[in-house]
Amino acid sequence: MVRISPLSGFPEWLPEGRAVERAVLETIQHTFELHGFAGIATRAVEPIEQLLSKGETSKEVYVLRRLQAEEGEEGASEKSLGLHFDLTVPFARYVLENAGRLAFPFKRYQIQSVWRGERPQEGRFREFTQADIDIVGDGTLPFHAEVEVPVVIAEVFARLAQLGVPPVRIHVNNRKVAQGFYEGLGLSDVDGVLRSIDKLDKIGPERVSALLQEQNGASAEQAQACLDLAAITGTDAGIADRVLELGVRTPLLDEGLDELVRLVEAAGRRVPGAVVADLKIARGLDYYTGSVYETTLVGHEQLGSICSGGRYDSLASDGRTTYPGVGMSIGVTRLVSRLLSADIARASRPVPTAVLVAVTDDESRPASDAVAALLRGRGIPADVAPSAAKFGKQIKFADRRGIPYVWFPGDEAHQVKDIRSGDQISADPALWSPPEEDLWPRVTAAMERS
């Protein structure tokens, strides 16, 4: 007997899990479109040099090469291609290639698989689905786009709450605040300080203070000031007052604080409680130029960020025109994996079928097929029993699949049975419909079904 060894990091959901994933994806797409984002798709591969241009290491990129290609053969150049590890790099290329045919500001969403060769663990996969939104400008991009993006994400999760998804907190920071503050302290290694601050949750303030002094040239007083800045959170103008109380003042810091306050106050009016300033957020600040976002599920913070992003002043550039952008990416697979492993959301049934049409005997199968065709023609998902077994066995067949109704064809009258309640009534396939809640599988919070 051949034993199949599973490949870690490449999730394959059972039908019930796939139903949950599909409901999540449909909710995300619907919300994006409500806000005017247009859907695009890009190719799965990009030139290796393009993939490495955003700071990813070569260890994380899967190289694409034809199996029989050898040096000197036609097709050997395929070795210079790799599977994309996110959707930002291909989107930047897409903008440059299509700039003359796009209307700016361009609002796009993209839901596709990406591949990343890192060690699989909880919430981290080698193949996974991302759902991105970005707003891109031609030369300039107004600040209100930095408010709109996290607001849209907050609305996505408000709608996902109907599926049982916990609420989220979108933690925001601003590159200008961090850079202006560190430079005001006299620290020149801004990116290095950011990398050290990013380790706060993992190693704690004492070890981060030591890193700042040993690796980033900070004095003990400067290191403490960096930690004091990182401790500040809030949802109103009070965050600016608390930062300025630390005794540092630069034009760049003032600009960043103004933007940060405007962001949290505007978001607070539109999606109350969802967005909070958190000045310890440092991941990604070394390549973002304005607002930066990280999102956690309330009660599942140990999972890490399930949605992140920020503003690039140069998402793409052709040497003549620069295209600034701001966006966020939802880790759909990470989210769905938690919904399934923690039994947060469930599908009402694993198959789409609402009605199983019974088969009396092999000669009457065409009659059962005709009933199913009538039901499908009216938008009712129907299947026909695979064999003319005893009706009890056909009912068990439906029950194992969660199919709520079994249809019994007759020469003069038809019967349909709700196998959950046992109720059975006469019905006409040209007129009968199941209740709306039974028509298609529904995904709800698991606690609603317990």
pLDDT value for 120: 83
Rounded average pLDDT over 286-299: 92
pLDDT tens digits along 422-443:
999 999 999 999 999 999 999 9
For the chain, what are the domain ranges? Answer: 15-346, 355-449
| Cα–Cα distance measured from residue 366 to residue 240, given in angstroms and rounded to the nearest whole number | 74
Annotated binding site for L-histidine: 86-88, 116, 130, 134, 283, 287-288
pLDDT tens digits along 66-118:
777 665 554 445 458 999 999 999 999 999 999 999 999 999 999 999 999 88
Annotated binding site: 86-88, 116, 130, 134, 283, 287-288
| Cα–Cα distance measured from residue 263 to residue 235, given in angstroms and rounded to the nearest whole number | 9
| Cα–Cα distance measured from residue 190 to residue 181, given in angstroms and rounded to the nearest whole number | 10
Contacts 24+ apart (CB under 8 A), 432-437: 433/378, 433/380, 434/354, 434/355, 434/380, 434/404, 434/405
Q: Residue 3 pLDDT more than 90?
A: no
pLDDT value for 71: 57
Rounded to 10°, the helix 200-215/220-230 angle is: 150
pLDDT value for 314: 86
Structure tokens at 88: 């930002």
pLDDT value for 402: 96
Q: Residue 28 pLDDT more than 80?
A: yes
The sign of the torsion formed by the CA atoms of 79, 83, 85, 88 equals positive
Name the band, by pLDDT with cuts 50, 70 and 90, for residue 450: very low
Domain 15-346 has CATH 3.30.413.10: no
Structure tokens at 132: 């991105």
In sequence order, which residues have a C-beta less than 8 Å from that of residue 148 and are 6 or more positions away?
Answer: 35, 135
| Cα–Cα distance measured from residue 416 to residue 434, given in angstroms and rounded to the nearest whole number | 10
- Cα torsion through 19, 25, 31, 35, rounded to 10: -160
DSSP state of 293: E
Look at domain 355-449 and name its CATH class. Answer: alpha beta
CB 153 within 8 A of CB 307: yes
pLDDT value for 72: 53
In sequence order, which residues have a C-beta less than 8 Å from that of residue 303 and are 6 or more positions away?
Answer: 122, 123, 296, 297, 334, 338
pLDDT tens digits along 227-248:
999 999 999 999 999 999 999 9
Angle made by CA atoms 55, 320, 318, in degrees to the nearest 5: 40
| Cα–Cα distance measured from residue 418 to residue 409, given in angstroms and rounded to the nearest whole number | 15
| Percent of the chain topping pLDDT 70 | 95
User: Is the bond leading into 381 cis (omega within 30 degrees of zero)?
Assistant: no
Residue showing tokens 């003319």: 388
pLDDT tens digits along 303-317:
989 999 999 998 889
Closest by CA to 417, choosing from 385, 378, 379, 450, is 385
| Cα–Cα distance measured from residue 383 to residue 403, given in angstroms and rounded to the nearest whole number | 10
pLDDT value for 130: 97
- Summary mean pLDDT of the chain: 92
Rounded average pLDDT over 56-63: 75
pLDDT value for 426: 96
pLDDT value for 52: 83
Structure tokens at 211: 């890193």
